[in-house]
Amino acid sequence: MPPARKKARMSRAKPPVKVEDKTEEDAAMTKRLFGREEPDADVEDGDLPSDDNAVAEYSPSGFRFGRPLSMNTKAIKAREKALKEKFEECQSRIKTELERDDGVIIDTRFLAETGAAVLDKNSDFTHLVKLRSDMPFRLIKQTMLEEGEYAGHVAIIIKQELPFRMLALPLHVRAKILRFALKHDEDRIHLTLKQSGSKTAYAPDYHGRNFLAVLGANKQMAAEAGAIVYGQFFHCPGTQVLSQFLIGIGLRNVKYLQQIHSDTYHKQTAQTSFHLLQEARALQRFSFAHVSSNESPPTAVKNIFNAAGTWLLSIDRNNPLKGLDVLTFEEAAFHTREKDPEGGVTVTQWGPAEQMDFLKALKAKLRAGAKKAWKETDALV
């Protein structure tokens, strides 16, 4: 063959195959195979597969070990939501009521229009049944009846709990039961405000699931249980909590209150509390640990009478001083402030003299207030 022709044929020959360098790919695969691959930046350790649930996937380069196959989180949530909606929709169509004898408190409804079971897509005869009751019940078993009208029929045994006839017991027995269930273990119930958006007073050490449900049973039980629950000693950190507590329990329960103590006194909420306590005819003691750090007796009398005067006079309209047997203050409830020669301020607790001046002035205020109220009543008559 001539040299020129040979050269031309060589130029038309296939180019040599280029072999790719797979060093990096092999290194990465080795890391995956022996568990040395670094996790992705957005994947936490808890999301990585363990040796027990790792999945091997085949690829042209060999087997690759990775995390187990799973559905997308959004897809799972969407599927759960769809199943929930389908179940609720199906429940809403279970309306056909099953006949029942007297004394059965369980409402049984089924989906079919008649009592006959329907054939489903799996060639099974089925019934969708819904059992509902206001009282607890428990499924026991299925049994074959051998005698009577329904001999040869299958019965589903259900144990139902009938209401306990509390009101059939004597009054003194009911009182013992309620005191045992509702009396607090300590000598007083401590109130506070819930740490949430709504200002609601509650007792963190005196509560539980459906603990006070008996108050909503009927009027008779509400009266008997309410007298025990609200007849206990309530301790509040301040009149802010007390006012919310009184608003929450309502006037029908305020009348059972007997003893209240407040650590602090806030003018606005104290006035609200006194107003709400006008129906508390059973109240025996309403005490304050601290009222003011800077008040003289005349100023204190004016402020207390403006806030509590109407309530004090309503306790006994024939005796305007009766309220002073209920309202009490601790020794350190009032203080005065005076500037000392060095430019500072000295806070001094009231002594016996200031306390006596306060009591005399408050009595005079109450007598004058009662006299004014009597004149206004006579004028109306």
Beta bridge partner(s), residue 144: 154
- Output 357 or 39, whichever has higher pLDDT: 357
pLDDT band at 191 (very low <50, low <70, confident <90, very high): very high
Give the pLDDT of residue 61: 47
Q: Please report the sign of the dihedral spanned by the C-alpha atoms of residue 10, residue 13, residue 18, residue 19.
A: negative
Q: How confident is the model over 327-351, as a mean pLDDT?
A: 90
Residue 243 CB-density burial (10 A; 0-12 exposed, 13-18 middle, 19+ buried): buried
Give the pLDDT of residue 340: 81
- Output 16 or 150, whichever has higher pLDDT: 150
- Give φ, ψ of 349 to 5 degrees: -75, 145
Provide the mean pLDDT of the chain.
82
Q: Is the pLDDT of residue 198 over 80?
A: no
Non-local CB neighbours of 28 within 8 Å, separated by 6+ positions: 37
* Distance, CA of 231 to CA of 318 (rounded, Å): 25
- Output 227 or 36, whichever has higher pLDDT: 227
Q: How confident is the model over 197-225, as a mean pLDDT?
A: 86
The residue with tokens 């799996």 is 122
Task: Classify each residue of 254-278 as buried b or exposed e, where b means 16 or more C-beta atoms within 10 Å of its C-beta.
Answer: bbbbbbbbbebbbeebbbbbbebbe
Give the pLDDT of residue 34: 42
Q: Is the pLDDT of residue 182 over 90?
A: yes
Residue 177: strand, helix, or coil:
helix
* Distance, CA of 192 to CA of 204 (rounded, Å): 8
* Distance, CA of 12 to CA of 14 (rounded, Å): 7
- Give φ, ψ of 257 to 5 degrees: -65, 140
* Distance, CA of 70 to CA of 38 (rounded, Å): 21
Q: How far is CA 178 from CA 161, 228, 308, in A?
A: 21, 7, 34
* Distance, CA of 287 to CA of 259 (rounded, Å): 8
Q: How confident is the model over 13-32, as a mean pLDDT?
A: 52
Residues 248, 250, 254, 259: what is their CA dihedral angle, to the nearest 10 degrees?
0
Give the pLDDT of residue 151: 93
Give the pLDDT of residue 57: 47
Q: Is the pLDDT of residue 343 over 90?
A: no
- Output 18 or 148, whichever has higher pLDDT: 148
Q: Is the pLDDT of residue 16 over 80?
A: no
- DSSP, residue by residue, 193-237: E-SSSS--EE-TTS--TTTTGGGGS-HHHHHHHHHHHTTSEEEES
pLDDT in tens, 296-331: 999 999 999 999 999 999 999 899 999 999 999 999
pLDDT in tens, 31-90: 444 444 554 444 444 444 444 444 444 444 444 445 444 567 888 888 888 888 887 878
Q: What is the CA radius of gyration of the chain?
A: 41
Q: Is the pLDDT of residue 8 over 60?
A: no
Report the residue count for the chain: 381
pLDDT in tens, 98-147: 888 888 888 888 887 788 888 888 888 888 888 988 888 899 999 999 99
* Distance, CA of 252 to CA of 93 (rounded, Å): 42
- Output 376 or 236, whichever has higher pLDDT: 236
pTM, full prediction: 0.63
Beta bridge partner(s), residue 235: 190, 261
- Output 180 or 22, whichever has higher pLDDT: 180
Give the pLDDT of residue 90: 80
The residue with tokens 């006037």 is 251
pLDDT band at 380 (very low <50, low <70, confident <90, very high): low
The residue with tokens 């329907």 is 118
Give the pLDDT of residue 31: 47
The residue with tokens 């003011």 is 292
The residue with tokens 């309502």 is 250
